[in-house]
Chain A
């Protein structure tokens, strides 16, 4: 499992906490609302309040702060890049000029804000995946999308695809590792030369991987049929989702916080 060691983002960490035990539907809706809230505010103090809110959620979920912050590491480059682009390409009052590079006060502000928003997005989303098992997440999404079923929306199929995809990530990473080693043993050069050569060198890895994936898909379909799988119709759950009053309270607090903060941000501070 060499590849798996680098995969920290989105891994479920089981624990007994309010956030862990909350209904996945509430958590998904809450996360979407929170992310909207983060993108609605424009004032520095609003960002500080969001940071405090984030800290509160982390403490309630009994996850270590370092672990949650660590999950943002893989996207830090994207965050910095976004901020940098805003520094350079936002018009307005120039703060200083260096040759043709012009940094403006607005650019600096927008860059910092966009970077912070992206960071909040990743952190809130990773709290969701750190505290919700893949199965619960899939069940929650299926349940949330089920009102669209009469219009032909494949809610169950999407949830099943997600469950299977998550289940096969470690298996396929393992498989890729094995194929790469087999090709290296035959003298393949996978990490030398320019990008084009490296991409070309990867073809002997991708083709066997695709063949194996299709074979596995075929085998899995037969095995699922043998276990009486005939789609979502008539299927029950060992742990059916149960909405509790705590979930309502959590969701109401989240919605109120977002509404209040966006209102204050617009009316009072600006």
Chain B
């Protein structure tokens, strides 16, 4: 396997104990280092299960899953995988462990058994990367929803992982919190971090490199966001909704008002209309 492959899944099946139907049904997937991949799909499509497979929180019941060249089925690899693939969950309140911002950020590196000066350095870096430096000694309950979710990202980043998996991190945030978090992620992406971003808000995937559409435990589609939007209303069969800006973009394109090269983003459309 080439070194720049981060995730390599071959025919992965997963079935929850006590359930009749498999949550994942034969996933084949490869993710390259430095990619920003969005996983989209309706509820119950298997995207959260897949995220937990990528972090070795769940082990495939069938098939092989290699994470940074490590087989997640080998139990001695589990902690190495989790220290390399950080994970952020939906509800920020349920993933903050400590009462003070810096103590919570230090939780991951403390678990890795690093020396105090290393931990301090990593905490300083991750709080800076998420824009939380001024809240370092503040109580975690006093933060806003968006700040709490950025703290969850800081806690994940403090282990300095090359990969971060986010499971619907914006589901409980207000528009400003969502915008701030996405800014943090694009900054990290520019620094070369591999990001797997799960969402059912399709307008959030516009800045990703690649979109994977999940449906009923399968990968239904894999390509760039722009190619996905060429389907127009076709994506509704996967339980996805076309964002208003994309609908406007395809109407303008079909009417010949804007050219085919224009990106389906707010900035792209505005620039094309008022150059």
Interface residues of A (CB under 8 A from B): 1, 14, 133-135, 163-164, 166-167, 170-171, 216, 219-220, 222-230, 234-240
The residue that A223 contacts in the complex, of B89, B112, B113, with Cβ under 8 A, is: B89
**Does the CB pair B120–A238 fall under 8 Å?**
yes
A-B contact count (CB 8 A): 94
**Does the CB pair B106–A238 fall under 8 Å?**
yes
Residue among B87, B107, B137 with the highest chain A CB neighbour number at 10 A: B107
For the complex, what is the distance from the CA of A240 to the CA of B116, rounded to whole Å? 7
For the complex, what is the distance from the CA of A114 to the CA of B99, rounded to whole Å? 36
Residues in B neighbouring A235, C-beta threshold 8 A? 110-111, 113
For the complex, what is the distance from the CA of A24 to the CA of B87, rounded to whole Å? 33
For the complex, what is the distance from the CA of A240 to the CA of B113, rounded to whole Å? 12
**Does the CB pair A224–B97 fall under 8 Å?**
yes
- Interface 0/1 of B61-97, CB less than 8 Å to A: 0000000000000000001001100110101011111
For the complex, what is the distance from the CA of A171 to the CA of B98, rounded to whole Å? 12
**Does the CB pair A220–B99 fall under 8 Å?**
no
Minimum distance in angstroms from B138 CB to a CB of chain A? 10
Residues in A neighbouring B86, C-beta threshold 8 A? 226-227
**Does the CB pair A226–B97 fall under 8 Å?**
no
- Interface 0/1 of B152-172, CB less than 8 Å to A: 000110010000000000000
State whether A228 and B112 are in contact (beta carbons under 8 Å apart), knowing that A14-B137, A219-B91 are contacts in the complex: yes
State whether A133 and B100 are in contact (beta carbons under 8 Å apart), knowing that A230-B111, A236-B110, A236-B119 are contacts in the complex: yes
The residue that B116 contacts in the complex, of A171, A222, A230, A237, with Cβ under 8 A, is: A237
Residues in A neighbouring B114, C-beta threshold 8 A? 236
For the complex, what is the distance from the CA of A98 to the CA of B159, rounded to whole Å? 73
Closest 3 CB pairs of A and B: A223-B95, A219-B94, A170-B141
The residue that B113 contacts in the complex, of A216, A227, A236, with Cβ under 8 A, is: A236
Determine whether B123 belongs to the interface, using a CB cutoff of 8 Å to chain A: yes
State whether A229 and B107 are in contact (beta carbons under 8 Å apart), knowing that A133-B100, A236-B116, A238-B102 are contacts in the complex: yes
